[in-house]
Amino acid sequence: MRIQSYVCALVCGICFAARASLLRPATFPKTVDDLSFVERLMLRQEGYEPFESVYDKDGNCISGCAYAAPRLEDELAAMARWNAIAKKDLVETHGYTQAQDETITPPATRDYNIPYGNPLRNMACITSPYTGSRTLADGTTSPHYAIDFRASTGTPVYAPANGTVLQIVNDNRCGNGIVLRHGGGYTTVYCHLSEVSVTKDQSVQFGVVIAKTGETGHADGPHLHYAVKLNGNPIDPQLVIEPGHKQCNEI
């Protein structure tokens, strides 16, 4: 009996250690020098947000480097690659059409399983696009892996597609947040919420209210930080989203 329980504890211990070492580095967080590209990829797929990395004027990572490429040029190349993969997927699998200039347009018939809907129903404009070249006040560069919609606190946030609640977030960056899993490898992320109306593992239908906007976490005013990922990699939400959204500086 005692031998059996020792064996069981040993086997369980080995299994647990193997799984833990697969999911995250032995010492966490590591500096970027210690972290392989595969480890960074796995951290992203586990839901760690890479959107707060900062690069100095020479393109070297100086903050948030545990989740980022060591050089800005590597991060920009990764972003371009993820968006190219998403474009191909949207055209080949989800009926989007691609023009000569490589812009893509959603199909007339809505696919309720990928995040085609606008989480604020085109009632809010975009203040900050998805970009690798967002410059901060001190001259450093911090890629933005999402779009920010201007929205006063309490604005309803609607599910942009059918899905399941993968994660309820609460940290000092995202604040109150939600991660939804949709079809085809797509997930969506919502940050800075004042209210969360769903619970983990809950199924949601396209168009239901999942939250209200706010300014929790690292936000300098009420807005919705909205990210779309394909297989764990953040892509430009404007590739997927239905027509009709506007940039705030254009209206």
User: Where does this chain bind Zn ion (CB under 5 A)?
Assistant: 146, 148, 225
Minimum gap (Å) between residue 168 Cβ and Zn ion: 19
120 and 188 Cβ atoms separated by less than 8 Å: no
To Zn ion, the closest distance from the beta carbon of 240 in angstroms equals 17
**Closest to Zn ion by CB, 49 or 111:** 49
Nearer to Zn ion, 130 or 206 (CB): 130
What are the DSSP calls for the chain, one per residue? -HHHHHHHHHHHHHHHHHHHHHHS-SSSSPPGGG--HHHHHHHHHTT---TT-EE-TTSBEEESGGGS-SBHHHHHHHHHHHHHHHHHHHHHHH--EE-TTS-EE--SS--TTSS-S-TTTT-S-EEE-SBS-PBPTTS-B--B-SEEEE--TT-EEE-SSSEEEEEEEEETTTEEEEEEE-STTEEEEEEEEEEE---TT-EE-TT-EEEEEB--SS-SSSEEEEEEEETTEEE-HHHHSPTT--BGGG-
Distance of closest approach, residue 116 Cβ to Zn ion, in angstroms: 21
R_g of the chain computed on alpha carbons: 20
Considering the complex, what minimum distance in angstroms separates the CB of residue 109 from Zn ion? 31
Q: How far is the CB of 105 from Zn ion (least distance, A)?
A: 25
Query: By beta-carbon distance, which residue lies closest to Zn ion?
Result: 225
CB of 30 to Zn ion, least distance (A): 25
Specify the residue, 146 or 198, whose C-beta has the smaller distance to Zn ion: 146
